[in-house]
Amino acid sequence: MSTEYYEQNAQDFFEGTVDVDMSELYERFLPLVPEGGSILDAGCGSGRDALAFKKQGYKVTAFDASKTLCKLASELLGQTVDCMRFNEMSRQGEFDAVWACASLLHVPRTELPDSISALIGSLKPGGVMYCSFKLGDTECERDGRFFTDMTDSSFRSLMGNVNPEAEVETWNTKDQRPDRDESWLNALVRL
């Protein structure tokens, strides 16, 4: 289970991700969020992105499934980060945007529709969700973590089942960490 991996490796994960420059992704996402709007960082990890949004004047709510990462992210953000899973999101119509960067990829493919539905349900009408997955079509465990990879077509098919009315935009990027040679599928889902 990925949560156990993050509990055991929280400090290393935090240190390895907290300073990664994600500004290229922010530049595509933030123009779709009202100025000063509310963003849910779903599976926030180190809290890096939530902090970047908070510094730019957005109202940020964050959660993660790892208790230890929640503690580290809470300290970074100076606010409470809730410990929960995607399918436990019960807030409805509350956020202008959802940011799920490299987090939904730990959900098994059969559970993704419910997790994405819960996140989309937390959006206000006209809201937007960003999410990312490792590019590919496998579902497997790698180095103690579970991954569901996605391609453009598999993600569009998934979204067609979850919310056929949503507008979906996808693009590929390379990993921003210097020691990684991986490709990512990025997606913006607009309601």
- Contact in structure between 106 and 146 (CB atoms under 8 Å): yes
pLDDT at 7: 86
In the chain, the domains with their CATH numbers are: 2-10+36-190 (3.40.50.150)
- pTM (2 decimals)? 0.95
Mind listing the pLDDT tens digit for each residue in 9-67? Answer: 889 899 989 989 999 999 999 999 999 999 999 999 999 999 999 999 999 999 999 99
Buried b (16+ CB within 10 A) or exposed e, 97-123: bbbbbbbbbbbeeeebeebbbbbbebb
Whether the pLDDT of residue 116 is over 80: the answer is: yes
